[in-house]
């Protein structure tokens, strides 16, 4: 099989699919599966070399109260426990008012890297002397200024690198309701010649940074000890609370634990990003870089307040938009945005913070008591049961029997399906 396919990008999705079917010796069933899905013209406009589409379940997480308002949260993810955890975490906070959020603002950073400078520290000062001119030139690009945004500040740093010192110029850009990558990149490229002129160096990279530490979501909530109790557990709510705080302390002291702690937060945030066609990859990059600012640690914090409640908070950069990209051009993403009913990117950023914290609370509560696998295996058992092609009315019973027997496997599911169908 030869992976070289000249002018493949110029073909239609249908023709590309025929080529791939032939080259990869796909079955008719597999070929037809690639052709299933929504409008191929839309898909072709969103990516390169499109041959089809792949669907994810679009779910809605319930129980959220955010800044005093009930919110339904669309989530696109293949793992059902993610949606269940977000809904459960939000439920734990309802009696104490839900989540309170704040946002640092819709700011993104653009970077211009300048190399081959003989006097980097003086060059930095010369750049700062022309900051107003650089900012004005940046604001001549695009339409951000007419929408109330634009470049608001210009700074410069000398960065020591393995290739010697370099001057790096930062553009702080108010991107309003956009994610902002295209606007910021355009500005950085436009001002690079002026920066080169002033530094007598060469501009290499001119691009935004995904360490969006000027676009931070903050969310907090309180959970009472009684909400942490479960009938199936012998642990009192206070004991579960204390175990959660100790689990957080473990993450604060150990990057191996912190990575998984933060992955739990991003489970929820990524699913919301995919549902709204925002860039989950940028969110992941920014979140992990932010967590590593002072040695890698957890993005959320758990404490005990003066009334004995679990006090939960999170700070995480969130680079998302309500306009641009596929957020409004993709009909399902547009519908997901309508479910959220947000009026600005700042409001959406706050929701992302609340969803990440809710997801983390549910995970921490499970880890501190019955263990993470109990809930996961219940959902896994349902998936195994469905694979037997048993009648829908038997799926729950098959799954429950397998969990009770601690024997969750396809063979046992088929045995139960046959037994219960008689």
Distance of CA 148 to the CA centre of its chain: 26
Three-class SS of residue 155?
Answer: strand
Lowest mean pLDDT among 70-74, 112-116, 335-339, 417-421: 417-421
pTM exceeding 0.85:
yes
CA distance 402 to 352: 36
Q: Which of 147, 170, 263, 378 is catalytic?
A: 263
CA distance 386 to 383: 5
Residue 379 has phi, psi (to 5 degrees) of: -70, -35
Q: What is the pLDDT of residue 392?
A: 79
CA distance 58 to 72: 13
Give the pairing of strands 107-115 and 164-174: antiparallel
Q: What is the pLDDT of residue 188?
A: 98
Is residue 156 within 8 A of residue 128, CB to CB? The reply is: yes
Averaged pLDDT for residues 309-317: 98
Taking each helix axis from N to C end, the angle separating 181-199 and 131-139, rounded to the nearest 10 degrees, works out to 140
Residues in a beta bridge with 115: 202
The pLDDT tens digits of the residues spanning 213-261 come to 999 999 999 999 999 998 777 899 999 999 999 999 999 999 999 999 9
Q: What is the pLDDT of residue 370?
A: 65
Show the CA angle centred on residue 307, arms to residues 302 and 310, nearest 5°.
Answer: 20
91 is catalytic: no
Tell me which residue of 241, 242, 263, 261 sits closest to 251, measured CA to CA: 261
What are the C-alpha distances in Å from 216 to residues 132, 193, 290? Answer: 26, 31, 10
CA distance 350 to 167: 34
263 is catalytic: yes
Is residue 32 within a helix (H) or strand (E), and if so which, with residue range? helix 28-35
At residue 387 the predicted structure's pLDDT band, cuts being 50, 70 and 90, is: confident
Three-class SS of residue 230?
Answer: coil
Alpha-carbon Rg for the chain, nearest whole angstrom, is 25
Residue 11 CB coordination number (10 Å): 16
Q: What is the pLDDT of residue 409?
A: 83
Return mean pLDDT, the chain: 93
Q: Which of 177, 229, 279, 369 is catalytic?
A: 279
Question: Quick one: DSSP state of residue 298?
Answer: -
Q: What is the pLDDT of residue 419?
A: 81
Tell me which residue of 310, 109, 167, 314 sits closest to 228, measured CA to CA: 310
307 is catalytic: no
Q: What are the residues whose beta carbons fall under 8 Å from the beta carbon of 184, sequence distance 6 or more? A: 108, 109, 110, 171, 173, 175, 208
Q: What is the pLDDT of residue 39?
A: 63
CA distance 411 to 385: 10
261 is catalytic: no
Q: Which of 18, 79, 196, 415 is catalytic?
A: 79
Q: Which of 376, 378, 397, 407 is catalytic?
A: 376
Distance of CA 253 to the CA centre of its chain: 24
Phi-psi group of 148: left, alpha or beta (phi > 0 → left; psi -120 to 50 → alpha; rest → beta): left
Three-class SS of residue 310?
Answer: strand
The pLDDT tens digits of the residues spanning 281-310 come to 999 999 999 999 999 999 999 999 999 999
Residue 218 CB coordination number (10 Å): 18
Kindly tell me the burial class for residue 163, based on how many C-beta atoms sit within 10 Å of its own C-beta (0-12, 13-18, 19 or more).
exposed
The pLDDT tens digits of the residues spanning 83-141 come to 999 999 999 999 999 999 999 999 999 999 999 999 999 999 999 999 999 999 999 99
């Amino acid at each position: 099989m030869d992976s070289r396919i000249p002018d493949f990008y110029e073909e239609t999705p249908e023709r590309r699919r025929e080529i791939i079917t032939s080259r990869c010796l796909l079955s008719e069933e597999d070929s037809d599966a690639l052709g299933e899905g929504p409008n191929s013209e839309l898909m072709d406009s969103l990516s390169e070399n499109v041959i089809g589409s792949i669907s994810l379940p679009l779910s809605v997480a319930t129980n959220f109260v955010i800044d005093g308002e009930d919110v339904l949260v669309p989530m696109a993810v293949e793992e059902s426990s993610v949606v269940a955890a977000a809904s459960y975490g939000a439920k734990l906070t309802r009696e104490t008012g839900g989540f309170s959020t704040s946002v640092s603002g819709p700011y993104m950073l653009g970077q211009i890297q300048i190399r081959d400078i003989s006097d980097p520290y003086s060059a930095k000062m010369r750049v700062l002397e022309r900051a107003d001119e650089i900012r004005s030139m940046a604001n001549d690009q695009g339409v951000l200024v007419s929408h109330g945004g634009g470049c608001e500040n210009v700074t410069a740093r000398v960065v020591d690198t393995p290739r010697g010192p370099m001057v790096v110029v930062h553009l702080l850009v108010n991107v309003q309701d956009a994610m902002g990558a295209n606007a910021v990149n355009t500005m950085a490229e436009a001002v690079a010649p002026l920066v080169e002129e002033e530094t007598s160096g060469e501009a290499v990279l001119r691009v935004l940074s995904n360490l969006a530490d000027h676009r931070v979501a903050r969310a907090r909530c309180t959970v009472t000890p009684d909400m942490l109790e479960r009938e199936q557990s012998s642990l009192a709510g206070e004991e579960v609370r204390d175990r959660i705080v100790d689990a957080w302390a473990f993450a604060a002291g150990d990057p191996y634990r912190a990575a998984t702690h933060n992955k739990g937060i991003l489970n929820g945030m990524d699913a919301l990003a995919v549902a709204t066609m925002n860039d989950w990859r940028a969110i992941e990059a920014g979140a992990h870089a932010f967590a590593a600012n002072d040695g890698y640690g957890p993005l959320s914090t758990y404490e005990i307040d003066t009334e004995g409640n679990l006090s939960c908070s999170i700070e995480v950069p969130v680079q998302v938009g309500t306009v641009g990209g596929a957020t409004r051009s993709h009909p399902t993403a547009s519908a997901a945005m309508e479910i959220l009913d947000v009026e600005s990117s700042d409001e959406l950023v706050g929701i992302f913070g609340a969803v990440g914290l809710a997801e983390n609370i549910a995970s921490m509560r499970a880890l501190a008591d019955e263990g993470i696998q109990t809930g996961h295996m219940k959902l896994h058992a349902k998936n195994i049961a469905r694979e037997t092609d048993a009648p829908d009315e038997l799926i729950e019973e098959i799954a429950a029997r397998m969990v009770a027997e601690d024997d969750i496997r396809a063979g046992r599911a088929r045995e139960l399906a046959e037994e219960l169908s008689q």
